[in-house]
Structure 1
Amino acid sequence: MKIKHLLTALLLTAVQSSLSAQSFNNFPVTTQKPPLHGKHWMGITGKPLAATAGALIFGKGGNAVDASCAMLAATCTMWDVLSWGGETQALIYNPKTKKVIAINAMGVAPTGATADFFKNKGMKYPPEYGPLAATTPGTAGGLMTMLAEYGTMSLKDVLAPAMQMAEGYPIEAQTANAIERGKDEIKKWPYSTKVFLPHLGQQREAPDAGEIFVQKDLHTTLQKLVDAEQQALKKGKNRKEAIYAAYDRFYKGDIAREIARSCQEQGGLITEQDLAGWKVKIEEPLMTTYRGIDVYKMQQWTQGPVMLQALNMLENFDLKGMGYNSSRYVHTLYQVMNLAFADRDFYYGDPAFQPEEPMQGLMSKAYAKERIKQINWERNDTRTLPGDPYPFEGKKNPYTEQLKTWGNFQASVHRNADGLNDKFMEEFTAGTTSVEAADEEGWVVSITPSGGWIPACIAGNTGVGMSQRMQSFVLDARENPFNVVEPGKRPRVTLTPSLALKDGKPFVSFAKQAGDEQDQLLLQFFLNMVEFGMTVQEATEAPSFKTLQMYASFGAHEKDPGGLILNESMPDWTRKELSRMGYKLSYQPRTSGPINAIYFDWQHGSFWGGSSNHGEDYGIGW
């Protein structure tokens, strides 16, 4: 009966969405996508099929953590710009404790991964693709930890939708075409070739859109996890202990042995000891308050604090009075983001390693006020440098001399004759997905998982695509002394889920994909709601702008000083003003996402879901 009711709910939601997309006499629709509404639960992610996986779990009585894990498993299986060997970052609001906690399921650099190792291979940064790009897998452990600690269901039930998909699902055009475009890289790795190129030797070697895409090895791996859980239950272990038995099989058992063996066979470094020694961390997130709203982000091994630093600076301005997307507004946000991103590029790194990042100073409201004194209000400053947060901790900066020459060792992008550099933009927006979930009990989950995207190097007969996150390290301490690669260290990543509380209750949960774009567009989304009163769907679709002046976290780590991408709807006067101020303008028809978000309507006791008109992301509520 539950499945029947769920199908009825899905049908009703589809009908409501169709009606909402129309314009009625007194209620004109202002967004291209209708907002989602729900009273009992809501789930949004990168693919409609993956959102359905979450709905199936909600329909069986699962909470938001159970459903988010099911959506995460489904997106990994669909290669929605990530795989099972990637990494997962999550913020979870626990209604029992009224606190936000952070899940750090980022893999680490393997044994032998030193700066000298890569320099001796003639590399300026670790590679973009292949086994040497791989940190230890984090997503599997992150999923099982979240489920064990905060979920209610078994791993068997939560993985069931993903396992059905691994047996065969109709692949969508976006992923199928990504495989075809990346097939030359895929052919370098025999296990990847076996999985991704079912029509090897034909003109099109990737699957066709709508073709049933089968992943037998991955299904076997997921079945092994379920078997480990079920065997533990038969031995009298409780739900939590049984899930951790599956965790141990992935990181210490036969799955781990095959990952390590095949990684080394293909030229990588990951060892069995690396896998066995890695653990998920449950952390305290960082937080700042903006106009009475508490905004939470992951720690400084992500770029998340950038948004918090930017909010600290922007709180000193009348943004609404400037006018939405006026030249003054764009210039203010651009300059503030440049200041925050320059700090990111030099000071952020894994807090488990020395030197210690000066986060107390960086997060200080007093430091924010000092930083905005450096803004040139007439022109863009293409030489924005990291600041000095140490005095705001009562310390002396040990890097004063180094900062004088900072930027001399990194590269600026060479633009094409017609504007943007395609390779740079591909690196700058290297993808991921996002998962948002909430339930009537009060659980809220925001996840930005990634890694192991196509063209992934698959680890042997596991079906698991390995991460490519090593490329986010640097090899030269002059660039960032906190993010130099070391064995066991987590790279400073772009992945950045977001949660905001107002009056001690969830206000909005939000995240997006696309590399270095993430925090700058999440910042604008948040301001759209808080400063300009937009609905969550309006805020996800509203035309945004993008700074290209920070160093990319991928590939060649270049930047485009003065580079500014505007939405095509930007009026001529604003374009002229920004050009006069020294910006190099480019345009895109859609600039807002994909952003996924859930807004908590406490007045009416319901959820509003937003998903931008920028990709295939969408969700469902009930």
Structure 2
Amino acid sequence: MKIKLLLCTLALAGVHYKSMSQAFNNFPVTTQKPPLHGKHWMAITGKPLAATAGAMIFAKGGNAIDASCAMLASTCTMWDVLSWGGETQALIYNPKTKKVIALNAMGVAPTGATADFFKNKGMKYPPDLGPLAATTPGTAGGLMTMLAEYGTMSLKQVLAPAMQLAEGYPIEAQTANSIERGKEKIKQWPYSKKVFLPHLGDKREAPDAGEVFVQKDLLATLQKLVDTEAQALKKGKTRKEAIYAAYDRFYKGDIAKEIARGCQEQGGLITEQDLANWKVKIEEPLMTTYKGIEVYKMQSWTQGPVMLQALNMLENFDLKSMGYNSSRYVHTLYQTMNLAFADRDYYYGDPAFAPEEPIKGLLSKEYAKERIKQINWERNDPKTLPGDPYPFEGKTNPYTDQIKNWGVKQVSQRNVNGLDEKFMEEFTAGTTSVEAADEEGWVVSITPSGGWVPACIAGNTGVGLSQRMQSFVLDPKENPFNVVEPGKRPRVTLTPSLALKDGKPFLSFAKQAGDEQDQLLLQFFLNIVEFGMTVQEATEAPSFKTLQMYASFGDHEKEPGGLILNEAMPDWTRKELSRMGYKNSYQPRTSGPINAIYFDWIHGTLWGGSSNHGEDYGIGW
């Protein structure tokens, strides 16, 4: 409670500091987790053992890319709500070019995955679990591309910690209990049953917390990659060429053959050709400025631009004078996000496919000024429609008539105060994050996901398949840019973040939990920029959540007026927000898990922050 009261006091007093250390020295706040400090490097992710893997790589002379790959491989092996068959997206700051790079390793819809295919099965959306939920695996290719292009170590070196974990590691309670809860689903898929349920027939069929969890098939798959790299090196191939030889074995060799066979045997659609045709993309990220700070996000096949849109709108307000988490502040952010998320839900999709997303208009500062004119400052607007960004790029909107009737679809009739378990599980479907930085200047922010428990494992590979097909729609009236078709990437929630200030890294930050990601990352960013919090204070500070956008998972429902507040919110603010038309509910922790690195250029050091719930944490040196 001390931190929450003090943060409110600081905000109301208008306190702002040039550096985190000044704030910490003048107002020493005891956060529930201590901030991390480092001079040479920082490694943060969703599992302590995986953060240790990153530290091991740094200790052996690796850079932030090498360490990130080791952490990614380890979290996949530990099933930290993702697996090797999931998807990876990363923002990388390259100190040699002084530019931010976007790595797109999102899988695509397989052959035969059309809207008519799923409609003929009586589905409103592609399924949320099982082989038909799977896009092509992206994480393995993303990891190997990132390492080959920007790392310094061999695949064997960065996979060593993950391979040790696959040999057997003491499984933690969170994952073990998740397996037990999902065991009835897991039993539908023979290869998953073999891996996840070592105690079939017992009352508890999943591993116990602390039991050594062994994954022989996955270990064999990783060994094949390492062996292929070694063979290529013996033939005189370069480090980079040898890593890509392993990449080819995964996507074009015997591993690909077994993934496709195992998927199809269990009713899935992925073919060998789908795997061979898939490619990692290195893209230009999207960027906007907020009070001179450059904020970078992935392209519109993610929800990332929604934060950029919100910042463009919020730049027009004096947020600090409103007071941190005052009813005015909450209402302003909620309504701004409401407008941005309506645009997300209608206009975002894979830019490699027609129609072309109006992203230039959506990110226009002038469009932002026009959009905020629609805010009702007295009450919540539960019926916000997508805007019209086309005139802001010199075009005419072809969807004007369609938008008038948009939104007449799944609106949850549940009592949000009860925080319906199924709705919230769909809304906050998990992922993890990986943040790393080194003294050379490399910075990495990754939000990988897919293949979470209960996952369908592809044959004898040990590779859990993605569940990301569910983020597509089947009806173009919902979103003409995100209708499923073979070879297309779904519009996903995954959204790593990087910010530069004065041409240098300022923040690297990311968060797990589905549709919560950008709304809480936005608040985290404002906590630092507007209210002068340290990075650890900002990760723990009480945030709020809007449920007034269509969930990207399950039944794609929403809760108009749904607002989740922190339990520390005072009664008078609760009442004021209720009067304004919000349906309040409460949680003890509302900020994360967010992982972040702040770059203290005054002292030449790194600050690491990780929210005060979940297993996420890191190590610095």
Would the TM-score normalized by the shorter structure come out above 0.5?
A: yes
Per-residue CA deviations over 1:368-417 (Å, capped at 9, x if unaligned) read: 00000000000000001000000001111000000010011x20113248
Tell me if 1:610 matches 2:603.
no
Size of the aligned set, in residue pairs, is 598
CA distance in 2, matches of 1:36, 1:323: 28
Tell me if 1:362 matches 2:338.
no
Aligned match of 1:38: 38
Tell me how far 1:30 sits from its aligned partner. 2.8
Structure 2 residue identity aligned to 1:508: L
Tell me if 1:304 matches 2:318.
no
Aligned match of 1:4: none
CA distance in 1, matches of 2:494, 2:433: 10
What does 1:462-501 correspond to in 2, within 5 Å? 462-501=461-500
Aligned match of 1:116: 116
CA distance in 2, matches of 1:195, 1:25: 50
Structure 1 residue identity aligned to 2:81: V
Aligned match of 2:5: none
Tell me how far 1:446 sits from its aligned partner. 0.1
CA distance in 2, matches of 1:444, 1:394: 36
Q: Summarize the Cα distance change of 1:394–1:25 in structure 2 as closer, same or farther, 3 Å threshold.
A: closer
Aligned match of 2:589: 590
Per-residue CA deviations over 1:69-99 (Å, capped at 9, x if unaligned) read: 0000000000000000000000000000000
SS in 1 for 2:205: coil
Structure 1 length normalisation: TM-score?
Answer: 0.95
Tell me if 1:172 matches 2:172.
yes
SS in 1 for 2:597: strand
What does 1:233-382 correspond to in 2, within 5 Å? 233-382=233-382
Aligned match of 2:386: 386
CA contact (8 A) 2:416 2:584 kept: no
What does 1:530-609 correspond to in 2, within 5 Å? 530-609=529-608
CA distance in 2, matches of 1:414, 1:577: 23
Aligned match of 1:518: 517
CA contact (8 A) 1:118 1:126 kept: yes
Per-residue CA deviations over 1:94-142 (Å, capped at 9, x if unaligned) read: 0000000000000000000000000000000000000000000000000
CA distance in 2, matches of 1:30, 1:117: 55
Percent identity reads 89
CA distance in 1, matches of 2:492, 2:575: 35
CA contact (8 A) 2:416 2:585 kept: no
- Could you tell me which runs of 5 or more consecutive residues in structure 2 were left unpaired when the two chains were aligned: 1-23
CA distance in 2, matches of 1:272, 1:460: 13
CA contact (8 A) 2:416 2:562 kept: no
CA contact (8 A) 1:444 1:509 kept: yes
CA distance in 2, matches of 1:584, 1:505: 41
- Could you tell me which runs of 5 or more consecutive residues in structure 1 were left unpaired when the two chains were aligned: 1-23
Aligned match of 1:148: 148
Aligned match of 1:5: none
CA contact (8 A) 1:413 1:421 kept: no
CA contact (8 A) 1:107 1:136 kept: yes
CA contact (8 A) 1:199 1:205 kept: yes
CA distance in 1, matches of 2:381, 2:415: 22
CA distance in 2, matches of 1:230, 1:580: 66
CA contact (8 A) 1:309 1:363 kept: yes
CA contact (8 A) 1:304 1:494 kept: yes
Per-residue CA deviations over 1:122-175 (Å, capped at 9, x if unaligned) read: 000000000000000000000000000000000000000000000000000000
CA distance in 1, matches of 2:419, 2:71: 34
Aligned match of 1:129: 129
Per-residue CA deviations over 1:469-519 (Å, capped at 9, x if unaligned) read: 000000000000000000000000000000000000000000000000000
CA distance in 2, matches of 1:355, 1:417: 36
Tell me how far 1:29 sits from its aligned partner. 3.4
CA contact (8 A) 1:591 1:614 kept: no
CA contact (8 A) 2:347 2:358 kept: yes
Structure 2 residue identity aligned to 1:105: A
CA contact (8 A) 1:414 1:421 kept: no
Per-residue CA deviations over 1:351-374 (Å, capped at 9, x if unaligned) read: 000000000100000000000000
CA distance in 2, matches of 1:329, 1:321: 9
CA distance in 2, matches of 1:191, 1:421: 32
Tell me how far 1:614 sits from its aligned partner. 1.7
SS in 2 for 1:501: strand
CA contact (8 A) 1:335 1:380 kept: yes
Structure 2 length normalisation: TM-score?
Answer: 0.96
SS in 2 for 1:258: helix
Tell me how far 1:27 sits from its aligned partner. 7.3
CA distance in 2, matches of 1:65, 1:430: 27
Tell me how far 1:421 sits from its aligned partner. 1.4
Aligned match of 1:426: 425
SS in 2 for 1:79: coil
SS in 1 for 2:356: coil
CA distance in 2, matches of 1:143, 1:26: 42
Per-residue CA deviations over 1:311-352 (Å, capped at 9, x if unaligned) read: 000000000000000000000000000000000000000000
Per-residue CA deviations over 1:23-81 (Å, capped at 9, x if unaligned) read: x9997433110000000000000010000000000000000000000000000000000
Structure 2 residue identity aligned to 1:125: Y
CA contact (8 A) 2:129 2:455 kept: yes
CA contact (8 A) 1:38 1:606 kept: yes
CA distance in 2, matches of 1:614, 1:373: 37
CA contact (8 A) 1:472 1:493 kept: yes
SS in 2 for 1:373: helix
Tell me how far 1:419 sits from its aligned partner. 2.0
Aligned match of 1:455: 454
Aligned match of 2:107: 107
Per-residue CA deviations over 1:174-212 (Å, capped at 9, x if unaligned) read: 000000000011011000000000001100000000000
Structure 2 residue identity aligned to 1:153: M
